[in-house]
Structure 1
Amino acid sequence: MKKSNLITGILYVLFGVACLIVALLIETKLEGILWGFAGAGIFPGIMMICKYFYWSSPENKERYEERLENERIEQHDELKTKIRDRAGRYTYSLGLLVVCFSILVFGILGALEVIDNARMIVLYLSGYLLFQVIAGIVIFNKLMKKY
């Protein structure tokens, strides 16, 4: 296994511990977020470190090589590549529909005065929708030039 996995795991743990220390020492409105970052850094970091030592041990080296070879085969399988591309397209389209529907729902709830600041939510979602459409077009054009 690559050393970069071990280094990444150590960095995750250090980040989590730093957030934990800040959450313990400083009282702030962001304390809940700091606790979340602490857990999101420490536990995955420990798992990365454990996986590194597990797969780096001599008795697991052969199984790890076999696993990497299977992953390479799976990644370059043409049918799976085509299905992944189609799944990404469907997900993108579904995301655009959900954002459009959310804009409509928040617009109605704001007009009925059910929620406050619905205008900000609608503007944010509209900006996100515009970003998604523009990003989709730009990425498509970049990929067309590449291939």
Structure 2
Amino acid sequence: MKKGNLYTGIGFILTGILLILIGYLLRENIDSSFLFGWSGGLIGPGILSLYKYYRWSSPENAGEYEKRLKEEKINLNDERKIMLRDKSGRIAYVIGMLLLALIIIIISVIRMFDIANISRWLVLGISLFLMFQYFLGIVVYRHLSKKL
């Protein structure tokens, strides 16, 4: 296994510990729950990365690791799986677009009937993101169609 995985794991853990210390020292001045959440979000994957590095670097697991690498390489280049990844990405993109449009409608109705105090900037921001995602899809499609 690559040494970069080991260094990444150590970096995640050290950054998480640093955020815990900063959150603890500044707990009276700021809401440090945000920092504690980030620290947990970094320490967990860091520990998992270290575990994977030491597990797959051990000599008794070397054969199984080579087998997994070979299988992963085949899966990444398999035409059927590439087509399935592309199709699933498109379906997820369309569902995301529909969900964003539905969220915009719901928030607009809530705002229109004064059910909750929702800023018009929130609706505008989500609407702009929806338009950005749509136009980005068109740009990427045109780029890929020229390239291929």
* Class of the TM-score when normalised by the shorter of the 2 chains: over 0.9
* Residue 26 (structure 1) shift: 0.6
1:50-89 deviation line (CA, Å, top 9, x unaligned) = 1101101111111100001011111111111111111110
* Residue 15 (structure 1) shift: 1.1
Match of 2:145 in 1: 144
Q: What are the ranges of 5 or more consecutive residues in structure 2 without an aligned counterpart? A: none
Over 3 Å counting, the alpha-carbon distance change for 1:30 and 1:143 in structure 2 is farther
Q: Note the 1:33-112 alignment, pairs <5 A.
A: 33-112=34-113
Q: TM-score scaled to structure 1, two decimals? A: 0.94
**Structure 2 Cα separation of the partners of residues 48 and 37 of structure 1:** 17
**Structure 1 Cα separation of the partners of residues 14 and 143 of structure 2:** 37
Tell me, what secondary structure is at the counterpart of 2:117? coil
1:6-64 deviation line (CA, Å, top 9, x unaligned) = 11111111110111111111124441110111101112101101110110111111110
CA contact (8 A) 1:75 1:81 kept: yes
One-letter amino acid of the structure 1 residue matched with residue 129 of structure 2: Y
Is 1:15 equivalent to 2:10 in the alignment?
no
* Residue 131 (structure 1) shift: 1.2
Q: What are the ranges of 5 or more consecutive residues in structure 1 without an aligned counterpart? A: none
CA contact (8 A) 1:12 1:42 kept: yes
Which consecutive segments of 4 or more residues in structure 1 shift more than 6 A?
A: none
Two-structure CA RMSD over aligned residues (Å):
1.2
Q: TM-score scaled to structure 2, two decimals? A: 0.93
* Residue 118 (structure 1) shift: 4.0
Match of 1:130 in 2: 131
**Structure 1 Cα separation of the partners of residues 87 and 58 of structure 2:** 39
* Residue 145 (structure 1) shift: 3.0
User: Larger deviation: 117-126 or 52-61?
Assistant: 117-126
One-letter amino acid of the structure 1 residue matched with residue 7 of structure 2: I
* Residue 110 (structure 1) shift: 0.2
Q: How many residues align?
A: 147
